[in-house]
Amino acid sequence: MPASHVSRALEWAQGFGLLSLQKHASITACRKSARVLPQRSLLEHHLVVIFMDTSSIELQNRLRQAVDNEINSSEDNLRALKSRRNALAPISRLPPEILATTFTFLSSSALNDSYHITWIRVAHVCQQWRQIALSYPRFWSNINVTRMSPAFVAAILARSKMAPLNLVAATMNWNSERSDALWRQLEAHISHTRRLKVHGYLEAALERLLSPAPILRSLTLSHQNDIFLSPEVDIPDTLFSRTTPRLIHLKLRNCNTSWKSPLFKGLQTLEIYRSSREGRPELEDWLGALNEMSQLKTLRLHHATPIASSDTLFTSAPQRTVTLPFLIKFSIVARARDCALALAHLVLPTLTHLRVSAESYEREGDDVRLLIPYVAKNASGPQGTEPLRSVLISGEEAYAEMVAWVTPNADSNVLDPITLLSAADSARVVFLANIKDSMWRVGTDSLIFDDLLTQLPLRSISALTAHNNTRLDKEVWLKHAPSWPLLERVRLVPTALRSFRKMLAEAPPPNGPLLPSLTKLDLVDVSLTVQRTYHLRDMFIERVGQGVPLEALDLSTCFVADRAVQLLEEVVVNVRRPAETMEVGSSNWKEGTGVDFFDSEEGLTEDDDYANDPGPWHEGRDEEEDEVDF
């Protein structure tokens, strides 16, 4: 080691008073024998440690401090080098404003995720990103407090400063102390809250939300429904000191509120689910509130409309109506007469999606049939829009549904209740009626479908599906078939097939065959026994003779023998087989029915009722389950 290095170590040690005179003399004697080593700082340190005066604790502490300072300096140098290296990455060339905006998108996208706060990790990537995140209040303005501790909430609120806040809180599993603490904490920030979404027991929140909310644009209040407590909560008139001038989106569940409240002024979206019977509005108050919402675009009212009295008459035009010139989507769930009362008083010139779920309380279905004209009045859509092109009907003894789309063949995507829910979102009209705790009289569902098919504008339909256990009389088919000249494809379940086949087997009217455009027939879950196969084949031959042959037959979901397919292929050019066909002579798929498929002699069987075919996939559903919070 060069003498200069040893001298430097000695000077450094002496400067701290770490060497005695004797040890200083010993080190000096070693200078000439020192060898050159690459880690000179390490050697200097070891020389100092070897020869230091260890009798002083103060001197030891000073040495440790000196080493710690050197470590800190080295770490600072390393961080500076890494920062310089990161600066060479292309992303580091983005302006801080762009990075900050990107970070905000990340935090806002996770607003409804209470289980993870991974968005905060951007503040731990590098020094530049951390500085940007900490200095940009909007990054901290999207807060889901559901699983946050009070200290964490306080830290985030402090970093958000006065940025407009988007707050989400699911407090249904909180105790009262924690809930009270949260709303005391948030009370001071209501003035700069832009979006507030709360689900849980709302009493504590409503007691604290008293100060004005001048920039609040969206409010969701969902009260936890508890059988041991009040299922609904009353929203006080003092909420936000009656000051929400920018509110445009309001969603309430299990809440009662006055329709005279300033909350209902200037809204663009209004959703109310499950008011109590006492919380339902009077007709005049309801119409007055809607009149203050001329910009309304989406309206969903589930058990939240005026109640029709038993003596309400629907034979004449109402004395007062309200026009909602921008309303696009309207969903209503209520008793059938309540739905009729609401629709009778509304004028909806731009409506593109109407969803009506009606509860019937009359076994003859008269209350449902009373409602249908008001549904039909709003089924055409705005002037100049596409007509209805595809329709699905689905029925039971206590249930009837019709879904209509402007998109051709939209009904073909419906295979079960799940796909029906999904497909209904794009429909223009969704009509659902079911009788509560009873059954309609036999044939009532067919009368309801007859009224729907008569009154809705269906002349342009090109596709029709009869699903579930739908039963339509032959007379119903004969009545409506002349009105469907463009109908190209029909999908039928077993209960709808026989009357449809008999309708087509009728002698054609003088002006030409029925359903002249029909070229495709899809059979769903039909067991094609001998009798049914020959009936279908005869009908197809009759259509050929009328000059309107069937071009495609879909049997992919049916139970059918090879011989049956062969017979039908003699008449229909394109027959789609199921993945597996039945053995000749085997019994019907349902054990014990005694219905045989083709045997070797192709004998006919008397089995043309469809009672033994697959049962319904749909027994009705609760519209309240369509809307899910949190």
Q: In this predicted structure, which of 143-147, 423-427, 471-475, 548-552 has the lowest mean pLDDT?
A: 143-147
Q: In this predicted structure, which of 404-413, 435-444, 481-490 has the lowest mean pLDDT?
A: 435-444
**According to DSSP H, which parts of 116-175 are helical?**
127-134, 150-160
- pLDDT confidence bin for 598, thresholds 50/70/90: very low
To which residue do tokens 């929140």 refer? Answer: 205
**Is the pLDDT assigned to residue 188 strictly greater than 80?**
yes
Which range, 103-107, 193-197, 596-600, is most confident?
Answer: 193-197
**Is the pLDDT assigned to residue 16 strictly greater than 70?**
no
* β-bridge partners, 489: 463, 520
- Cα 48 to the center of its chain, rounded Å: 71
pLDDT digits (tens, 9 = 90+) for 224-275: 876 555 568 899 988 999 999 999 999 999 999 999 999 999 999 999 998 8
What pLDDT score was predicted for residue 109?
A: 63
Is the alpha carbon torsion for 273, 279, 282, 284 positive or negative? negative
User: Which residues does 113 contact at the CB level (< 8 Å), separation at least 6?
Assistant: 144
**Domain segments of the chain: what residues?**
3-88, 320-465, 470-614
**Is the pLDDT assigned to residue 82 strictly greater than 90?**
no
Residue with more model confidence, 128 or 29 = 128
**Is the pLDDT assigned to residue 322 strictly greater than 90?**
yes
- pLDDT confidence bin for 21, thresholds 50/70/90: very low
- pLDDT confidence bin for 51, thresholds 50/70/90: low
pLDDT digits (tens, 9 = 90+) for 395-421: 988 999 999 999 999 999 888 888 888
The predicted model gives 109-119 an average pLDDT of 62
Residue 226 half-sphere exposure, CB side, CA atoms within 13 Å? 12
What pLDDT score was predicted for residue 55?
A: 62
What pLDDT score was predicted for residue 89?
A: 75
Q: Measuring CA to CA, how many Å separate 455 from each of 323, 373, 374, 379, 483? A: 22, 7, 10, 10, 12
The predicted model gives 572-591 an average pLDDT of 69
Which segments within 339-478 are labelled E, that is strand? Answer: 346-347, 353-360, 390-396, 399-405, 429-435, 463-468
What pLDDT score was predicted for residue 37?
A: 39
Which range, 17-21, 159-163, 350-354, 525-529, is most confident?
Answer: 350-354
What pLDDT score was predicted for residue 41?
A: 53
The predicted model gives 291-309 an average pLDDT of 95
* Angle between helices 96-109 and 127-134 in degrees, nearest 10: 70
What pLDDT score was predicted for residue 116?
A: 58
- For residue 492, report the phi and psi dihedrals to the nearest 5 degrees: -135, 140
AA identity, residue 66: A
CA distance linking residue 104 with residue 101, whole number of Å: 5
CATH number of 470-614: 3.80.10
CA distance linking residue 80 with residue 557, whole number of Å: 69
In contact, 453 and 395? CB cutoff 8 Å: no
**Is the pLDDT assigned to residue 518 strictly greater than 80?**
yes
In contact, 296 and 267? CB cutoff 8 Å: yes
What pLDDT score was predicted for residue 128?
A: 78
Q: Are strands 390-396 and 399-405 parallel, antiparallel or unpaired?
A: antiparallel
What pLDDT score was predicted for residue 73?
A: 86
Q: Are strands 559-560 and 298-302 parallel, antiparallel or unpaired?
A: unpaired
In contact, 491 and 460? CB cutoff 8 Å: no
In contact, 10 and 28? CB cutoff 8 Å: yes
What pLDDT score was predicted for residue 173?
A: 80
What pLDDT score was predicted for residue 589?
A: 38
Residue with more model confidence, 343 or 617 = 343
What pLDDT score was predicted for residue 621?
A: 39
In contact, 208 and 176? CB cutoff 8 Å: no
What pLDDT score was predicted for residue 537?
A: 94
Which segments within 341-389 are labelled E, that is strand? Answer: 346-347, 353-360
Helix (H, G, I), strand (E, B) or coil at 479: helix
**Is the pLDDT assigned to residue 44 strictly greater than 70?**
no
Closest by CA position to 453, among listed 517, 511, 369, 516: 369
* Angle between helices 127-134 and 57-86 in degrees, nearest 10: 90
What pLDDT score was predicted for residue 225?
A: 73
Q: Which two tokens stand for residue 532?
A: 């049914």
Concatenated DSSP letters of 276-332: -GGGSPPHHHHHHHHHT-TT--EEEEES-SPPPPTT---SS--S--EE-TT--EEEE
Q: Are strands 353-360 and 346-347 parallel, antiparallel or unpaired?
A: unpaired
Q: Mean pLDDT across the chain, nearest whole number?
A: 82
The predicted model gives 310-317 an average pLDDT of 75
By the 10 Å C-beta count (0-12 exposed, 13-18 middle, 19+ buried), 103 is classed as buried
